[in-house]
């Protein structure tokens, strides 16, 4: 796209009780890469801001080393939702809750009770999400899927058990997305059958035929510029979820050295690691991944038992992912794991979130030249 031209505004995205002025959802980024600062900035810019709930306690005043991890996660999430709302009183703000973490249910309940307007949930099939979120039927519930089969299964189960349907689906493309990837092994990566271009049209057609288009499809993975968004909408998506694009922003909640790692990233620096969660994960090459790949010693002592199934805790293999992600967010890249999508190397400078929205959607009405 010619960057000198001002893009026409994108169509709004309706899901559940909400109408999102600009159809861009910021992807949840744990641990504490997307917390209240990033989520509120995105919400103020007209997108949907997402607080990633996993292990929020680790950089909070509530966590006593080795003690009260789960209680502290709840208190830290309440703070993050409150602070995000203070900065963005009118924006649309939700949370990302991962099925694979042990306090999934507590994170969902806490989100609903503390004003999250929607919950995006993946890293497993969120089959019981409506039950845990029942306290507020207005909280929109959005599962993450990587296939039509998974979407059908969730819709059927929710309809049969809870008489409700997902308010949207996020499709996450394992070929391009960051963090844990929705395929069982790295051998399934880069297969066309899991790609956005294949699965999004299937999901969109199913939503149209089976639900009169009432379950919007949001696509995630590798979305960077307006061309990518226009392509996603052409495929039948009603919105996009973007994560990596928001990392080198002043508002992103990670340390500056975390963001600098992206500014300095070179071709070939995006790697696949085997996560203790039993899934492949996409990450940025760092001193930590170099040690990991060389078979050197990395922190492997479980301190919080955060995952339901964990090869580090249960088999003493791999590494402690909570510690590694937390270290990176704090700026300790020697011992830190930095998740990223395939677009890691496209950052060229620090930006404000609003600048990114201006680039993608044109400036807000008041600043548009007639
Ligand atoms: C640093 C980082 C952390 C992430 N953490 C989470 C998470 O906690 N939960 C989750 O469901 N997805 C997580 N993701 C996936 C994103 O929410 C998003 O769907 C995906 O990265 C989109 O692709 P993109 O980064 O190319 O835009 C993470 C991604 C990144 C880059």
- Averaged pLDDT, 269-279: 92
Task: Classify residue 250 as exposed, middle or buried by CB count within 10 Å of its CB (0-12, 13-18, 19+).
Answer: middle
- 177: DSSP letter: -
Which residues fall within 8 angstroms of residue 242, CB to CB, at 6 or more apart? 24, 25, 26, 27, 220, 223, 224
Give the confidence band of 232 by pLDDT, cuts at 50, 70, 90.
very high
SS3 270: strand
- Averaged pLDDT, 347-367: 92
Per-residue pLDDT of 14-52, as tens digits, reads: 999 999 999 999 999 999 999 999 999 999 999 999 999
The CATH 3.20.20.70 domain(s) of the chain lie at 13-254+347-363
Q: What is the pLDDT of residue 169?
A: 98
The CA-atom distances, in angstroms, between 10 and each of 58, 92, 364 are 38, 17, 12
In the predicted model, is pLDDT for residue 199 greater than 60?
yes
Ligand 1 touching residue 54 (CB < 6 A): yes
Ligand 1 touching residue 222 (CB < 6 A): yes
For the chain, what's the residue count?
Answer: 370
Rounded distance between C-alpha atoms, residue 325 and residue 339, angstroms: 8
Q: What is the pLDDT of residue 1?
A: 47
Give 47's Cβ-side CA count (13 Å radius): 27
Question: What number does the ligand 1 atom closest to the CA of 176 have?
Answer: 26
Ligand 1 touching residue 239 (CB < 6 A): no
Q: Which has the closest alpha carbon to 132: 168, 95, 169?
A: 95
HEC sequence for 76-123: HHHHHHHHHHHHCCCCEEEEEEECCECCHHHHHHHHHHCCCCEEEEEC
Ligand 1 touching residue 223 (CB < 6 A): yes
Phi, psi of 147 (to 5 degrees): -155, 160
Rounded distance between C-alpha atoms, residue 92 and residue 355, angstroms: 19
| Ligand 1 geometric centre to CA of 164 (Å) | 26
Q: Contact, 146 vs 124, CB < 8 A?
A: no
| Ligand 1 geometric centre to CA of 64 (Å) | 28
Ligand 1 touching residue 243 (CB < 6 A): yes
Annotation: CATH topology of 13-254+347-363? TIM Barrel (3.20.20)
Question: What number does the ligand 1 atom closest to the CA of 177 have?
Answer: 23
Ligand 1 touching residue 124 (CB < 6 A): no
| Ligand 1 geometric centre to CA of 3 (Å) | 26
Which pTM value belongs to this model? 0.96
| Ligand 1 geometric centre to CA of 366 (Å) | 32
- Give the residue, out of 179, 245, 356, with the most ligand 1 atoms within 8 A of its beta carbon, to mutate for a pocket test: 179
Q: Which has the closest alpha carbon to 326: 10, 54, 1?
A: 54
Give 219's Cβ-side CA count (13 Å radius): 32
Rounded distance between C-alpha atoms, residue 216 and residue 208, angstroms: 9
Ligand 1 touching residue 340 (CB < 6 A): yes
- The protein residue whose alpha carbon is closest to atom 6 in ligand 1 is 29
Question: What number does the ligand 1 atom closest to the CA of 245 have?
Answer: 27
The CA-atom distances, in angstroms, between 202 and each of 122, 123, 154, 220 are 19, 21, 16, 15
Q: What is the pLDDT of residue 209?
A: 96
- Give the residue, out of 178, 262, 272, 325, with the most ligand 1 atoms within 8 A of its beta carbon, to mutate for a pocket test: 178
* Other C-beta atoms lying within 10 Å of the C-beta of residue 74: 21
**Alpha-helix residue ranges (DSSP H) falling in 212-276:** 226-235, 256-263
Per-residue pLDDT of 119-160, as tens digits, reads: 999 999 999 999 999 999 999 999 999 999 999 999 999 999
Ligand 1 touching residue 327 (CB < 6 A): no
Q: What is the pLDDT of residue 370?
A: 62
- Give the residue, out of 24, 25, 26, 29, with the most ligand 1 atoms within 8 A of its beta carbon, to mutate for a pocket test: 29
Token output for 330: 């704090």
Per-residue pLDDT of 47-74, as tens digits, reads: 999 999 999 999 999 998 778 999 999 9
Among 103-107, 182-186, 243-247, 259-263, whose mean pLDDT is lowest?
182-186
């Amino acid at each position: 796209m010619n960057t000198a031209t001002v893009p026409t505004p994108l169509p709004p995205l309706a899901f559940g009780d909400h109408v999102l002025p600009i159809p861009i959802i910021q992807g949840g980024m744990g641990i504490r890469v997307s917390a209240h600062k990033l989520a509120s900035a995105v919400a103020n810019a007209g997108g949907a801001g997402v607080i990633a709930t996993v292990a929020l306690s680790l950089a909070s005043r509530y966590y006593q080393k080795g003690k009260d991890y789960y209680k502290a996660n709840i208190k830290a999430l309440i703070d993050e939702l409150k602070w995000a709302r203070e900065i963005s009183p009118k924006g649309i703000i939700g949370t990302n809750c991962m099925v694979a973490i042990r306090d999934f249910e507590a994170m969902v309940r806490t989100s609903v009770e503390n004003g999250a307007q929607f919950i995006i949930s993946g890293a497993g099939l969120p089959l019981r999400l409506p039950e845990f979120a029942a306290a507020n039927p207005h909280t929109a519930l959005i599962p993450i899927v990587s296939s039509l089969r998974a979407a059908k299964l969730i819709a059927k189960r929710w309809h049969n058990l809870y008489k409700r349907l997902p308010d949207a689906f996020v499709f996450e493309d394992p070929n391009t997305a960051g963090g844990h990837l929705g395929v069982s092994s790295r051998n399934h990566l880069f297969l066309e059958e899991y790609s956005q271009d294949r699965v999004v049209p299937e999901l969109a057609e199913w939503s149209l035929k089976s639900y009169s288009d009432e379950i919007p499809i949001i696509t995630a993975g590798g979305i960077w510029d307006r061309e990518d968004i226009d392509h996603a909408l052409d495929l039948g998506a009603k919105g996009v979820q973007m994560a990596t694009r928001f990392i080198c922003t002043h508002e992103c909640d990670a340390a500056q050295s975390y963001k600098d790692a992206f500014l300095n990233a070179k071709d070939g620096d995006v790697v696949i690691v085997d996560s203790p969660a039993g899934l492949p994960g996409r990450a940025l090459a760092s001193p930590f991944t170099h040690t990991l790949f060389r078979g050197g010693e990395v922190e492997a002592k479980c301190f919080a038992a955060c995952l339901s199934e964990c090869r580090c805790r249960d088999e003493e293999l791999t590494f402690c992912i909570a510690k590694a992600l937390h270290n990176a967010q704090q700026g300790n890249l020697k011992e830190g794991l930095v998740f990223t999508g395939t677009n890691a190397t496209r950052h060229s400078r620090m930006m404000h979130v609003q600048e990114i929205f201006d680039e993608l959607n044109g400036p807000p009405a008041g600043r548009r030249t007639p």
